[in-house]
């Protein structure tokens, strides 16, 4: 991760600043505020602000004016009920704002989650830094023969070295040309909004990303999943750690019902019932397509 001395000074100042408030705060979440958690080679995740806690979720569900007489285990039970039955609006009472530095190709995948507020570093206004994501060798893999969106076997030896050489040389050459176009001799140089178009997808950008807990859980369910692309999954993994300290009861319910849980189709449930009744169920009598049956077997094996 690359932080300038000025950025480090600002972060330290933010961490050391305190203010009185009447709003709900979470001590373990307060410890996360402003800290930069390293991701990939130059990226990071920082929690900048948050609103609400586990109590805000149950308060919204009960529409009460305070914590009431319910015990913490009752609150946890209610949160599990809300999660189990897909009641989303109580979770929308909590919000978080993150500062994220990430490669452009990851950002373009991330932005598919549209239910958030985003403000990105402007390459029309400012000049991008010479920072590129270069994968480690253990992430260089061939195209999967079975999954059009996935990776296959790792590249090894000279083949891996050649890929890294190409990535590094192409990135540097593109940035050299970017700088050259911005500052041509005896001219004002090309406009920044045009010069940026020659930069590769592995250059780093930054943004502030604010979302509510319901939409954040949806993001994490997809991006922290084992089959998600590695480069976005590592960001999701860091955010998971922050959320676990922010709303522990909601996080536990989310982990149980979403991350570690599975969803069955009507046909899948019928097959489970038939199997429990002692019936021999196979691909032919399951009434599923070949793909569905394969996925079903992976779930129950």
Q: With bands split at pLDDT 50, 70 and 90, how would you rate the model's confidence at 5?
A: confident
pLDDT at 29 over 90: yes
pLDDT at 18 over 90: no
CA distances (Å), origin 21, targets 25, 95, 277: 9, 17, 59
Q: Are 235 and 243 in contact (CB under 8 A)?
A: no
Q: Of all residues in the chain, what percent carry a pLDDT higher than 90?
A: 75
- For 211, the 3-state DSSP assignment is strand
Residues 83 and 86: their CA atoms lie apart, in Å, by 5
The pLDDT assigned to 54 comes to 96
The pLDDT assigned to 66 comes to 58
Look up the pTM and report it.
Answer: 0.90
pLDDT at 187 over 80: no
The pLDDT assigned to 201 comes to 96
Q: With bands split at pLDDT 50, 70 and 90, how would you rate the model's confidence at 129?
A: very high
Residues 236 and 248: their CA atoms lie apart, in Å, by 17
- For 222, the 3-state DSSP assignment is helix
CA distances (Å), origin 166, targets 42, 54, 82, 134, 174: 19, 48, 50, 10, 12
Q: 188-205, pLDDT tens digit by residue?
A: 789 999 999 999 999 999
pLDDT at 2 over 80: no
Contacts for 205 with CB less than 8 Å, ≥ 6 apart: 101, 102, 103, 104, 107, 120, 121, 123, 128
pLDDT at 50 over 90: yes
Worst-scoring range by mean pLDDT, 13-22, 171-180, 212-221? 13-22
Q: With bands split at pLDDT 50, 70 and 90, how would you rate the model's confidence at 65?
A: low
Read off the tokens for 107: 């950002």
Provide the residue ranges of all domains of the chain, joining segments of one domain with +. 5-132+202-259, 134-200, 266-300
DSSP conformation letters of 235-283: HHHHHHHHHHHHSHHHHHHHIIIIIS-----HHHHHHHHHHHTT----T
Phi, psi of 240 (to 5 degrees): -55, -40
Contacts for 208 with CB less than 8 Å, ≥ 6 apart: 48, 97, 98, 99, 100, 118, 119
Q: With bands split at pLDDT 50, 70 and 90, how would you rate the model's confidence at 89?
A: very high
pLDDT at 184 over 90: no
First to last CA, the chain: 40
The DSSP symbol for 144 reads P
Residues 151 and 227: their CA atoms lie apart, in Å, by 10
The pLDDT assigned to 231 comes to 97
Q: Of all residues in the chain, what percent carry a pLDDT higher than 70?
A: 94
Compute the average pLDDT of residues 88-93: 96
pLDDT at 8 over 90: no
Higher-pLDDT residue of 64, 88:
88
The pLDDT assigned to 185 comes to 61
> Helices 72-84 and 54-62, interaxial angle, to 10°?
70
Q: Are 21 and 33 in contact (CB under 8 A)?
A: no
Domain at 5-132+202-259, CATH from 3.30.1360.170, 3.40.630.30, 3.30.565.10, 3.30.450.60: 3.30.1360.170
pLDDT at 291 over 80: yes
The pLDDT assigned to 301 comes to 84
Q: 196-239, pLDDT tens digit by residue?
A: 999 999 999 999 999 999 999 999 999 999 889 999 999 999 99
DSSP conformation letters of 28-41: HHHTTBTPPEEETT
What is the rounded average pLDDT for all residues in the chain?
91
Which of 254, 258, 263 has its CA nearest to residue 299? Answer: 263
| Catalytic annotation, pick one of 46, 108, 124, 223 | 223
The pLDDT assigned to 64 comes to 63
pLDDT at 70 over 70: no
**Catalytic residue list contains 73:** no
């Amino acid at each position: 991760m690359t932080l300038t001395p000025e950025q480090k000074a600002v972060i330290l100042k933010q961490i050391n600043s305190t203010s009185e408030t009447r709003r709900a705060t979470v001590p373990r979440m307060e410890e996360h505020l402003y800290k930069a958690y390293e991701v990939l080679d130059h990226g990071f995740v920082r929690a900048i602000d948050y609103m609400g806690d586990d109590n805000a979720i149950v308060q919204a569900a009960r529409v009460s004016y305070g914590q009431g007489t319910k015990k913490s285990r009752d609150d946890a039970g209610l949160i599990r009920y809300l999660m189990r039955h897909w009641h989303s609006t109580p979770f929308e009472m909590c919000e978080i704002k993150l500062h994220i530095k990430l490669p452009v190709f990851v950002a373009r995948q991330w932005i598919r989650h549209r239910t958030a507020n985003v403000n990105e570093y402007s390459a029309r206004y400012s000049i991008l830094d010479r920072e590129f994501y270069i994968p480690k060798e253990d992430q260089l893999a061939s195209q999967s023969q079975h999954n059009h969106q996935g990776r296959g076997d790792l590249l090894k030896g000279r083949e891996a070295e050649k890929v890294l050489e190409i990535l590094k040389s192409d990135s540097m050459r593109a940035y050299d040309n970017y700088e050259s176009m911005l500052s041509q001799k005896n001219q004002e140089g090309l406009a920044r909004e045009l010069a940026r178009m020659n930069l590769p997808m592995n250059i780093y950008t930054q943004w502030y990303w604010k979302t509510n807990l319901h939409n954040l859980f949806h993001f994490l369910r997809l991006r922290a999943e084992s089959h998600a692309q590695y480069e976005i999954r590592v960001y999701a993994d860091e955010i998971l750690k922050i959320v676990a300290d922010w709303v522990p009861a909601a996080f536990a319910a989310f982990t149980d019902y979403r991350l570690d849980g599975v969803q069955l189709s009507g046909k899948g449930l019928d097959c489970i019932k038939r199997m429990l009744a002692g019936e021999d169920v196979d691909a032919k009598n399951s009434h599923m397509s070949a793909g569905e049956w394969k996925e079903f077997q992976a779930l129950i094996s």
